[in-house]
Structure 1
Amino acid sequence: MIRRLLLVLLAVCAAVLLPWTTYLGRTLPASHQADGWRVAWVGFDIALMLLLACALWLGRRRHRMATSVMTATAALLGCDAWFDIVLDWGAPDDWASIAMACVVEIPLAVVLLVSGRQLLSGGMARHTLTAEDVRLQRRPSTAQILEALEDGPATVEAIIELTGLQPSVVEETLRGLRRSRHVRRSRGGRWVAVPISLQRPAAESLSPEDRQTVEAFYDGKILQETELFEWAAAQHSEFADWVKGSRSRMLLTERELIRFDREYLDLVMRYAQLHAAPTGQTRELAVRWYAFPTREDHERVLAAGADR
């Protein structure tokens, strides 16, 4: 009900603004002297400064309101650019207003609009799984190196010391992990683990041999997840308030499902980066989400395909 009322309110406001804007365009004078000119601009810049500071404060805390504040800040920057150019047009120093708008205000507004979600989540790299990735993950050295990097960036020498692996094995594994975007090398020469979302490749893009390798990988993952859920089901009464879950049915297109997945990953990254190390109040949680066709829908699609 509230959503519908808000939509109606927005529609009414948009409809009313059209004749109002037409009226102003016909009746407003070309020039006007304002006694509060200085107060208006100083107040505007103070508001802009406060919004930028608020966006910084909320962004550092990964608060969800940061995106709303950044959107409002971008709107004010756009207004600033518009009024600077329009009100200074034809003046001797109008080039300064145009330059400020093109170089600072408009680019900054675009950055705030586009990068709002990344400020909260930090972004998550996406990589389409390959058979080479699967073979790399099967190596014992891969798990050892990624575990060594969980405590933070490390040099090759430090990784060798932590894992006890041969230098050649460490370097070869790091090269493979870098190709699959699991790690990156910082400017200081240290290796850093990178959060990544592995995307399932299209079956037709793989050779028969690689397809079998990838399918076996996912079969193993499903088996691990099944075992995890069986264990959690047996222990759930001991978790107290540390277990949460929800179930839902919804109708989505494939594109909407992809968008849902991306927004979920952004949410996961936002919360995953709240604590760099365990504390007395934190616990390590297994967080999952799954979406798949219902049994009825799957059987309906199979039946429709059989009838063709």
Structure 2
Amino acid sequence: MSLSDEEIAAMSPAERRELTLRLVQARGLVPPSRTLERIRKWRIGLTLLCAVALIPWTVYLANTLPNHYEARHWVATWVGFDIALVVMLTATAIAGWRRLQVVFPTAFASGVLLVCDAWFDVMTSQPGADLMQAVISALLFELPLALVLIAGPLRLMRYVAIRHGMVEPGTRMWRVPIPMPELWPDRESPRR
């Protein structure tokens, strides 16, 4: 059986999603649902465990850390962080230039690193000109670039999902599911 471009264009997004899923399954590219579901549950459990464990740790740190601390390896810490930021930004630029999907995690990670950089610059600055420079840098450069690097890939992922018929146009990014509907037989396409 062969479908023409016109027949495919005439399909509804739901019909295209079903066809795409069937083609992927026919090629054996999808691991068994049981395996995927087990991995998903294990990762969710691990993530929740870490989040819960961080609560008492954060309270402990808030009550025990000194207000002033002389740090060892101060230069290596900041230079190492900036090297990691340069590597991630370069990887993002290369992936974006070559139109590779790895741009999603590299851009997102670069944005998060910029938010962390802004936070630590502001929080560790001395009052006065040093603090003012950190705040200006954060507000004018680091945080706006972080917003672009985080929001851009999210919008692009949504566009790819719509373009490939995985979701309806207008679906919000936080409603775009992982494209494996066989894992959620009781769910219809996501609501807007």
Distance 1:120 1:55 in 2: 15
Amino acid at match of 2:106: V
Is the aligned partner of 1:104 residue 2:141? yes
Distance 2:191 2:68 in 1: 53
Larger relative contact order, structure 1 or 2 (CA cutoff 8 Å, min sep 6): 2
- Find runs of 4+ consecutive structure 1 residues off by over 2 angstroms: 117-123, 247-254
Residue 93 of structure 1, CA deviation? 2.1
Residue 61 of structure 1, CA deviation? 2.0
**In the alignment, which residue of structure 2 is the partner of 1:52?**
89
Q: How does 1:1-308 map to 2 (within 5 A)?
A: 1-117=38-154, 250-253=185-188, 256=190
- Return closer, same or farther for 1:80/1:41 CA change in 2, 3 Å cut-off: same
Residue pair 1:62, 1:119 contacting (<8 A) in 2 also: no
Distance 2:112 2:92 in 1: 13
TM-score, normalised to structure 1, is 0.40
Larger-gyration structure (1/2): 1
- Tell me the C-alpha RMSD between the 2 structures: 2.9
Distance 1:16 1:82 in 2: 23
TM-score, normalised to structure 2, is 0.63
Amino acid at match of 2:66: P
Residue pair 2:85, 2:110 contacting (<8 A) in 1 also: yes
Q: Deviations over 1:106-132 (max 9, x none)?
A: 111111111115567988xx9xxxxxx
Distance 2:107 2:88 in 1: 8
Number of aligned residue pairs: 138
**Relative to total residues, which structure has the larger strand share, 1 or 2?**
1
Gapped regions of structure 2 (runs ≥ 5): 1-37, 164-168, 170-180
Residue 65 of structure 1, CA deviation? 1.6
Distance 2:191 2:159 in 1: 22
Distance 1:14 1:89 in 2: 32
